[in-house]
Chain A
Amino acid sequence: MSKSCDSWSTVSLVSLASAGLSALCPPTVEAAQYLSVEQAEKAAFPEADRFDARVLRLTPEQLRSLDAVASVRQRGEVRQIEAWAGSKLLGTLYVDDVLGKVEWVTYAVAIGADGAVRSLEILEYRETHGYEVRTPSWRKQFAGRRLETPFHFGDDIKNISGATLSCSHLTAGVQRLLALHAQLTKSR
């Protein structure tokens, strides 16, 4: 053993839990909403006076054609919201979900009248461990436990450090929406 080990101490992870540390973490919400669709509309097109929304149900054929652009699991239902200022179409906001490695991510892409992406916002994001929240054993460790925390924005476990989650599936989702947008504007 090297000399510098002297300053290190070793504990058992199990003993941390029994020391009551897990009680410091209030229960995680299953899915957190960061931005509502209405907020996303206003953020992307603040100059709009009217939003026309509809739900696009993608046909298997459409989904296959989008798979050729970029492959990612998509729900097949996309909300399309047009932003207008008077009779002028400012652009389109698409709200869509993609399946990431383990979780669905709801996001909004604003595409301007020039066809360029104006903004990309995550509306709803299941924490990277959201899938485990639904498993009873994980849930149980927090059952009935609540702690009054001395700050008001840390109301769930969000500081999971130690996992870099690739967001490549989101990039794929955006590429698909851009392709879909091009198809729809062409067929107009």
Chain B
Amino acid sequence: MSSCSLRRIRPWLGTYVHIDVTAPDSHRAALSVEAAFEAIAIVHQAMSFHSPDSELSRLNREAHLRPVSVGVHTRAVLLAARRFAQLSGGLFDPTVAPALVRHQFLPTPTAPAANQEASWEDIEIDKDGQVFFRRPLWMDLGGIAKGYAVDQAIDALKDYGVLEACVNAGGDLRHFSRQGLRHPLVVRHPGDASRSIPLGHIANKAVASSGDFVLGRRGSEIDTSPIVDPRHGVAKCRPRSVTVIADSCCTADALTKIVSLLGQDASPLLAELGASAAIIEAPDTLHASSGFWSALGHEASPGHAPHA
């Protein structure tokens, strides 16, 4: 059978989104890629913290005054965010934006000042898609919406009957293969961004990674980690990264933040969600949760323990 492969990159979600697709014919390949980017654009426009016109920005301005209606996607991501907050005992918290703004990871929104005591527990979501904040707060779905957008893009590609697809939004990626073919996975070395670490191959899985490093970041903030612990606030950067493999990219994306903060104590949660993780520490150590190596196609751990 002759098939057509296509690669496209467009800027969305504050990063470059790569879409690779193999479809039965060129027409379907082109249409599926357009549909996938459209799905990403919808999520981006609804949930951008940077854009004052997004549903998210409207929530931050008004939802503490009166219930605000949101679309189906924003509602789905809010419900997912709340679920991860509950599962992690509040370690995953979409209301830590004030700390991220203070440290210049996010721009200052045009919204009333956030209540310092506010947390995810102040967010009410009713069945009709109405959202109400019990206190003024700044919500940021950056820790989860990118993964959700990748999932939406994969769903759009599947609807077009593609054979193979990979959507990668700056490190949050998901692979699909009708025939179960495997796809190589490489992560960046947390201590040296110029080095890559090949880990193995995934098939029909999602992967997300979080590092303390942010490429190209300069100035006084370079030592600050973008991962905020709701208990202690912003922490110093460590040459460490977390990679999570899960069935959906939304889950993988959210779990990177939780594993970053919980470390190996995240095991029960990973098991509950059918996910696995690795924590890579410079210069030479990789800690893998159970199931990590098998998700990458290895029967056993492919390396040996570092010298004590």
Please encode chain A, from 1 to 41, with 1 for each CB lying within 8 Å of some chain B CB and 0 for all others: 01011011111111110110110110000001011000000
Please encode chain A, from 104 to 140, with 1 for each CB lying within 8 Å of some chain B CB and 0 for all others: 0000000000000000111001001101100100100
**Which residues of B201-220 have CB atoms within 8 Å of chain A's CB atoms?**
201, 207-211, 213-216
Contact of A13 among B10, B16, B181, B285 (CB under 8 A): B285
For the complex, what is the distance from the CA of A161 to the CA of B268, rounded to whole Å? Answer: 24
**Which residues of B292-308 have CB atoms within 8 Å of chain A's CB atoms?**
293, 301-307
Q: Cβ of B20 and Cβ of A153 under 8 Å apart?
A: yes
Contact A164-B290, Cβ < 8 Å, known A12-B285, A13-B197 = no
Contact A11-B305, Cβ < 8 Å, known A152-B22, A153-B7, A171-B11 = yes
Q: Cβ of B16 and Cβ of A125 under 8 Å apart?
A: yes
Interface size for B (C-beta < 8 A) is 73
A3 to chain B, nearest CB (A): 9
Please encode chain B, from 260 to 281, with 1 for each CB lying within 8 Å of some chain A CB and 0 for all others: 0000111110000000000010
Residue of chain A at shortest CB distance from B288: A9
B104 within 8 A of A: no
Q: Cβ of A164 and Cβ of B286 under 8 Å apart?
A: no
A57 to chain B, nearest CB (A): 26
Q: Cβ of A14 and Cβ of B284 under 8 Å apart?
A: yes
Q: Which residues of B contact A128 (CB under 8 A)?
A: 215
A155 to chain B, nearest CB (A): 9
Q: Which residues of A contact B14 (CB under 8 A)?
A: 164, 166-167
For the complex, what is the distance from the CA of A13 to the CA of B7, rounded to whole Å? Answer: 31
Q: Which residues of B contact A167 (CB under 8 A)?
A: 11, 14-16
A75 within 8 A of B: no
Sort A-B residue pairs by CB-CB distance and give the 8 closest, nearest first. A101-B216, A11-B303, A15-B303, A162-B209, A12-B306, A162-B188, A122-B9, A164-B170
Q: List 11 A-B contacts (CB under 8 A).
A: A5-B264, A8-B289, A22-B198, A122-B10, A153-B5, A159-B207, A161-B168, A161-B187, A163-B193, A164-B14, A166-B215
Spell out A's residues near B (CB within 8 Å).
2, 4-5, 7-16, 18-19, 21-22, 24-25, 32, 34-35, 100-102, 120-122, 125, 128-129, 131-132, 135, 138, 149-154, 157-167, 170-171
